[in-house]
Structure 1
């Protein structure tokens, strides 16, 4: 299933979103791992066709749905306790990540510090047939600056089928599959969603290519993350 965003106000969604395509990092992109998938950089406003493309079906799987939300954050509330009212007692707090201002993508490889580019999470380590059932990630932007989440429109199962047409059922979809797909000359549409301080998202980051971004922002941004199984609508929508 491709990228699907839950929204009730098309104008509010458009005000937050821009679209572009992915490309392979060039040898001149020395801050990135070789073969990384990165945004083309040519972001443009969301058109009618882009809006239709991300519109969720009438009965989407909650596990594959993107929601732009306002988590119940307030100063002084322990972040570990923020998700208690959300109904998943097994949800886990993953911690925080600081991104300096002006980063096209934000995630680095802790081993050498190079950026990994747009990537697929693998906390649940699910095979091809089960990849769409993984836990969703909740992100809360703690600020002080705004940030973006970048999401690819092509899901992990579709990419796996394209890269491994003969034996995809035996594979565990991985970031490397997306890298091979883009290196082979294929295009992946991207959507970039702005998140101000106190705002966040719920997204299937084990199912969709993604990363954070602080491009064109003047302040750094810290994000807090959780993993859980939450139903659609558990948090107030911003769109």
Structure 2
């Protein structure tokens, strides 16, 4: 299952979205070996891409990407912001402060090297359990604008390609995407702009992704995990 975006206006999506392919970071000292990063330059999203991004009828909410504006808490308690949207199942997983001008933002806490585009693994899901997993809700706290980068190829497709003999017994992983790219396969990624106060809901355990502050100032972002219903918050696109 590929990337599916919930949107009603291609013009609005086009205005805040670019596309490129991934490449290996190579000898860049900030990145760990084998890390995947967006290849430059970014290109405008073309109208022909709209049908491939449009969710077919019956697409489960757990695999959708939504670009939204979450409600801001009146008492400053970010850990409670998402509870009314998802009930007690919601897990607040904290904040990250990102330096300015970062092509990708996530580092390996063990050694500080950037890991590049990756899959989350909070729930350690098997091949069959990846699509119905929890999605991530994120809110850009500012002060800068930032980006969400998303791969268009789902974790199951990559896992099948890399492990054809036993993919059903696998736990799809970032390393599968790295192996897929190293074998010469093209992986496309979208970059979606998020102003302060804007956010997303996305299956980050199913799609290659990372944040970015490329050509932008520093910003902080807050995260939650939950089984969000589609359309719980109004779409910005």
Measured after TM superposition, the shift of residue 209 of structure 1 is 0.2
Change over 3 Å in CA distance of 1:87–1:74 after alignment to 2: closer
User: What is the match of residue 133 of structure 1?
Assistant: 132
User: What is the match of residue 119 of structure 2?
Assistant: 120
Matches within 5 A, 1:165-176: 165-176=164-175
1:22 aligns with 2:39: no
What TM-score, normalized to structure 2? 0.98
Deviation string 1:141-175 (CA, Å, 9 cap, x unpaired) is 00000000000000000000000011101100011
Matches within 5 A, 1:59-208: 59-74=58-73, 76-208=75-207
Measured after TM superposition, the shift of residue 74 of structure 1 is 4.5
Given that residues 73 and 82 in structure 1 are in contact (C-alpha distance below 8 angstroms), is that contact kept between their aligned partners in structure 2? yes
Deviation string 1:60-105 (CA, Å, 9 cap, x unpaired) is 1100000000000156431011012213311100000011110000
Q: Any idea what SS the aligned residue of 1:86 has?
A: helix
The count of residues paired between Structure 1 and Structure 2 equals 237
Q: Any idea what SS the aligned residue of 1:236 has?
A: coil
Q: Any idea what SS the aligned residue of 1:133 has?
A: coil
Structure 2 spans left out of the alignment, 5+ residues = none
Structure 1 spans left out of the alignment, 5+ residues = none
Given that residues 88 and 229 in structure 1 are in contact (C-alpha distance below 8 angstroms), is that contact kept between their aligned partners in structure 2? no
Given that residues 136 and 203 in structure 1 are in contact (C-alpha distance below 8 angstroms), is that contact kept between their aligned partners in structure 2? yes
User: What is the match of residue 229 of structure 1?
Assistant: 227
User: What is the match of residue 2 of structure 1?
Assistant: 2
Measured after TM superposition, the shift of residue 58 of structure 1 is 2.0
Measured after TM superposition, the shift of residue 15 of structure 1 is 0.7
User: What is the match of residue 50 of structure 1?
Assistant: 49
Structure 1 Cα separation of the partners of residues 162 and 233 of structure 2: 36
Moved over 6 A (4+): none
Q: Any idea what SS the aligned residue of 1:18 has?
A: strand
Measured after TM superposition, the shift of residue 18 of structure 1 is 0.3
Q: Alignment RMSD, CA only?
A: 1.0
